[in-house]
Amino acid sequence: MKKKELCEKAGISSSTIVKMGRQEPVSVELIGKICLALGCTANDVLEFLPDEDSVKA
């Protein structure tokens, strides 16, 4: 699926996809829209990695 198709299917903007590509924060609501459009759960589209500050502490 192309990014444009995902935007249309999920009803999200292309700037949201850009943010995700840059690993910038997006809202849980937007993640929910993507999951509903793809028929999956958040675990399928998210990966949680500790940031450098958390690892050093």
pLDDT, tens only, 12-37:
999 999 998 898 889 999 999 999 99
The rounded distance, in Å, linking the Cα atoms of 29 and 33 is 6
The two structure tokens encoding residue 34? 């993507």
pTM above 0.85, yes or no: no
Domain membership flag for residue 53? no
Share of the chain above pLDDT 90, in %: 63
Is the residue at 13 inside a domain?
A: yes
Q: Which domain holds residue 18?
A: 3-48
- What does pLDDT average to over the chain? 88
Quote the percentage of the chain above a pLDDT of 70: 91
Q: 57 falls in which pLDDT band (50, 70, 90)?
A: low
Residue 55 domain-assigned (yes or no): no
Joined tokens for residue 21: 């590509």
Count structural domains, the chain. Answer: 1
Q: Extract the tokens encoding 37.
A: 């459009």
* Burial of 34 per CB tally in 10 Å (0-12, 13-18, 19+): buried
Token pair for residue 24? 């910038």
Query: Which of 43, 41, 13 has its CA nearest to residue 26?
Result: 13
